[in-house]
Structure 1
Amino acid sequence: MAEFMDVHHGMKDITSEKLREAHNADLAIEGEEGVHFKRAWADPGTGTVYCLSEGPSADAIQRVHERAGHPADEIHPVPITA
């Protein structure tokens, strides 16, 4: 399964609680698209949120995010890791 890093902009002043809620919303439906959201990070100052996931395609990742109410602005494949 391929890994992806997606980026959400405009989530200014996001809190740990709100990040956890958004991540849990993804986890609740991820299986329907055959994806798994591994981890999420946020910078409240810039409103940027990053999510690391694995799945069959960027489209599948986006469908989960859209259904959970927070579509990604960017989705990047992560073909090499160390």
Structure 2
Amino acid sequence: MAKFMDVHHGMVGITAEQLRAAHQADLANEGAEGVHFEQAWADPSTGDVWCLSEAPSKEAVQKVHQASGHPADEVHAVPLTV
């Protein structure tokens, strides 16, 4: 499966608890699309949130986020890692 990094904007003031709840919602919904969310990060001051996942496609990542109630603004393939 491929790796993807997605970005959410506009989450200014997000707390660790809110980030954890959003990530847990993604984990609860990921199986339907064959996605696995590995990690999430946030910057409360800018409102940006980033999620790293393994998935069959960008569309699958977005479907899980939509089902979880927080669609991504951007989804990027990550073809190279070290």
- Per the shorter chain, which TM-score range? over 0.9
- Aligned equivalents of 2:62, 2:3: Cα separation in 1: 13
One-letter code of the match for 1:72? A
Q: Percent identity?
A: 68
TM-score (norm 1): 0.99
TM-score (norm 2): 0.99
Q: What's the counterpart of residue 29 of structure 1?
A: 29
Per-residue displacement from partner, 1:41-60 (whole Å, max 9, x unpaired)? 00000000000001100000
One-letter code of the match for 2:14? I
One-letter code of the match for 1:33? E
Q: What's the counterpart of residue 18 of structure 2?
A: 18
Q: What's the counterpart of residue 6 of structure 1?
A: 6
CA RMSD of aligned residues (A): 0.3
Secondary structure in 1 aligned to 2:66? Answer: helix
Unaligned 5+ residue runs, structure 2?
A: none
Aligned length: 82
Per-residue displacement from partner, 1:32-74 (whole Å, max 9, x unpaired)? 1000000000000000000000110000000000010000000
Unaligned 5+ residue runs, structure 1?
A: none
Deviation at 1:13, TM superposition (A): 0.1
